[in-house]
Amino acid sequence: MLNIALFGPPGAGKGTQSEYLITKYNLFYISTGDLLRKEIADQTKLGQEAKEMIAAGGLVPDEIIVQIIEKTITDNPDSNGFLFDGFPRTYIQAYILEGLMLKLNTALNCLISIDVPMEDSVARLLNRGITSGRSDDNEMVIRTRLREYSEKTMPVMQYYKDKGIFYEVDGRRGIDEVSQDIEKIIENELSQKLFNIVLFGYPGSGRGSQGIALAKAFGLEYVATGLMLDQEVLHKTEIGKRISDLYENGQLVPDEIVVQLIEKKLASTKNVKGFIFKGFPRTLVQSYILDGLLKKNGSFISQIIEIEVPTLELIRRLDERSQTNRCMPYDTSTSKIVHRLEEHEIKTVPVIEKYKLLHDVKKINGVGNFADVFERISAEIEKGFKNMR
């Protein structure tokens, strides 16, 4: 997702720039005022609560505002991201947005402030008042609004300056020039953004071969936990010796070891467009681990793809594989194959269901020859890269 907060004093031209950004980057516009009015008009539970508070002369609390924002984000999964206009307004709301973004497995990419000196803002708003007929476009009210904006937003701007994602553009320039300045900031942000794919599918769906080919085609780093474990054993590293001992005793490799290897992979891999994960996460616990690992490295899951193949076809493929040098330990008998498929059903399908709530999981028909399936998956990945821009 591309998530932007757009700041600027009254009269800075946020509305005009918002319209441009929404269209260019397929963003969903979030204005807390607009959202509150819609909730009230739709007579939702949150809208009714907000209406009662406003009628009593009070302010709508952050608790209600954040619920409305969360609902808006989850109700619009097809958006490439969100443009926040006028939120966060306070230092506390900055922390609230940070927590909400973490919960939704995303982040605010940048806060862009359109800087306009007070006297320029006053002149613009007074000029607007001549044609708009708005009662609040008089000099006393305008200066009060501008002072209030400055007092409230300065701590918020400092919060994002400290995070290193605060940018400022000169709002005194023409509309097109301001648009170009904002676009440069966003394009620079996107150029540094990694595209991370999680590839799901039952054993026999072709995840491994497709993952390797896709990584090569799109400039991604292929991350397969099984392959990394085997490499550690082959090179007889300290971790490899521990893995060998676990294998010999018939034990599973704990997440503690797997995480170390993935963390090392993420930290050491340079000059790639992103990562494609196969075989991780397999469990709900591992899904939270992956979210945390990517967040630690300033990144997130960009796309989730599930390769779908009918059960009988999976069994046929795994049985055929058992007769080749690509045979896996669970391919050696029908009962082992069925057990492995059941294990995926029990442990990994809940992971996919979890991600469906946070991401748009792309289902790809995995039936057919390698090239056909590769073409289907590639088409989805190309769409994902395009949406990043």
pLDDT digits (tens, 9 = 90+) for 10-21: 888 888 999 999
pLDDT at 387 over 70: no
Which tokens sit at 244?
């060998």
Q: What is the pLDDT of residue 248?
A: 83
Angle 280-3-266 from CA coordinates, rounded to 5°: 30
Could you tell me which residues come within 8 angstroms of residue 212 by beta carbon, excluding any fewer than 6 positions away?
222
pLDDT at 233 over 70: yes
Helix, strand, coil distribution of the chain in percent, nearest 5:
60, 15, 25
- Decide whether 2-191 matches 197-388 in CATH topology: yes
Express each pLDDT in 191-200 by its tens digit.
Answer: 677 899 999 9
Per DSSP, the three-state class of 197 is strand
- Please report, in angstroms and rounded to a whole number, the separation of the first and last CA atoms in the chain: 10
CB 373 within 8 A of CB 307: yes
pLDDT band at 389 (very low <50, low <70, confident <90, very high): low
Which tokens sit at 70?
């969360």
Which tokens sit at 239?
């971790």
Cis status of the peptide bond prior to 88, with omega within 30 of 0: yes
Express each pLDDT in 344-356 by its tens digit.
Answer: 999 999 999 999 8
Express each pLDDT in 246-293 by its tens digit.
Answer: 888 878 789 999 999 999 898 888 878 899 999 899 999 999 999 888
Helix (H) or strand (E) run with residue 264 in it: helix 255-268
pLDDT at 169 over 70: yes
The whole-model pTM stands at 0.59
pLDDT band at 388 (very low <50, low <70, confident <90, very high): low
Domain locations in the chain as residue ranges: 2-191, 197-388
Could you tell me which residues come within 8 angstroms of residue 302 by beta carbon, excluding any fewer than 6 positions away?
194, 195, 196, 197, 274, 384, 388
CATH class of 2-191: alpha beta
Which tokens sit at 121?
């803002």
Could you tell me which residues come within 8 angstroms of residue 95 by beta carbon, excluding any fewer than 6 positions away?
none
Question: What is d(CA 183, CA 4) in angstroms, rounded to the nearest whole number?
Answer: 12
Q: Strand locations in 231-382, DSSP E? A: 274-278, 303-308, 361-365
Could you tell me which residues come within 8 angstroms of residue 237 by beta carbon, excluding any fewer than 6 positions away?
none
Q: What is the fold of 197-388?
A: Rossmann fold (3.40.50)
